[in-house]
Amino acid sequence: MKDNTGKYITIKRTKPKRVKATDFVHMWEVSSTLDEFIKYSGMNRDTAISRASLYRSKGVHLKKFTGTGERSTLDIDLLNSMTNGGAQ
């Protein structure tokens, strides 16, 4: 990437914040959205989702955030009709 003078600049990647399991669970449970959790924890979105999934698979009863995004509005029948498998 170049700055406004045309010189190349170095972009420093920040390490995702390390969060203890107890802190993770507490912040997850008090947050009302995934975005709010990410804001409080400083964690990467994908890392937070993966970690929540891991904890659930080990028996931790974490709440699931209700989605308002694309996944919650998928029309499965429509999407299947667009595939070769849906033309059966």
Q: Is residue 15 part of a domain?
A: no
Supply the mean pLDDT for the chain.
83
Q: Is residue 14 part of a domain?
A: no
Q: Is residue 8 part of a domain?
A: no
Q: Is residue 5 part of a domain?
A: no
Q: What is the pLDDT of residues 17-39, one digit of tens each?
A: 688 999 999 999 999 999 999 99
**Domain carrying residue 62:** 21-87
Q: Is residue 27 part of a domain?
A: yes
**CA-CA distances (angstroms) from residue 81 to 43, 64, 84?**
38, 30, 8
Domain count of the fold of the chain: 1
Q: Is the pLDDT of residue 41 over 70?
A: yes
Q: What is the pLDDT of residues 52-75, one digit of tens each?
A: 999 999 999 999 987 655 555 778
